[in-house]
Amino acid sequence: MMDMLSNEEYRICALMDQRAMITMYDPKYGGVFGSKPLQLIWSRYADFYGPHNTIMVDDAKRNFVTSPQNGLKISAFRRGAAGRDADAELAELERYVLAIAELDDFTHLKHKNWKRYLNIK
């Protein structure tokens, strides 16, 4: 565990786990599944957060089916994957987030192309 909730280096404003998920149905994702509704954060903290300044990073695309424009899919981390450096993708993700941090509006970005944005791979 990265001690994210008590480490002062992290600035987490909201944390959503599986208890916040809503049940969805889409044959594309195998039928019934849970999805994380960013709208919960946006409605509770509307003065600060909305589709214009929110990114959900996840390895399962279905988790942001309710707000696909705000989803950024990363590779799943599998312990012991031969030849794979999981920290490399996190470092690349950090570069992307820092590169767009000063933008007022993320809605025009296509996060699925985040690596191309930085000319990665």
pLDDT tens, position by position, 13-34: 777 778 888 999 999 988 999 8
Domains and CATH numbers, the chain: 18-117 (3.40.50.1000)
Instruction: Return all residues near 105 (Cβ < 8 A) that are at least 6 apart.
Output: 52, 53
Cα distances (angstroms) measured from residue 52 to each of 9, 62, 74, 79: 24, 20, 20, 34
pLDDT band at 112 (very low <50, low <70, confident <90, very high): confident
pLDDT tens, position by position, 74-100: 988 776 555 556 668 888 898 999 989
Q: Write down the pLDDT at residue 1.
A: 46
Q: Write down the pLDDT at residue 120.
A: 60
Pair 86, 77: CB distance under 8 Å: yes
pTM above the 0.85 mark?
Answer: no
C-alpha closest to that of 39 among 50, 27, 28? 50
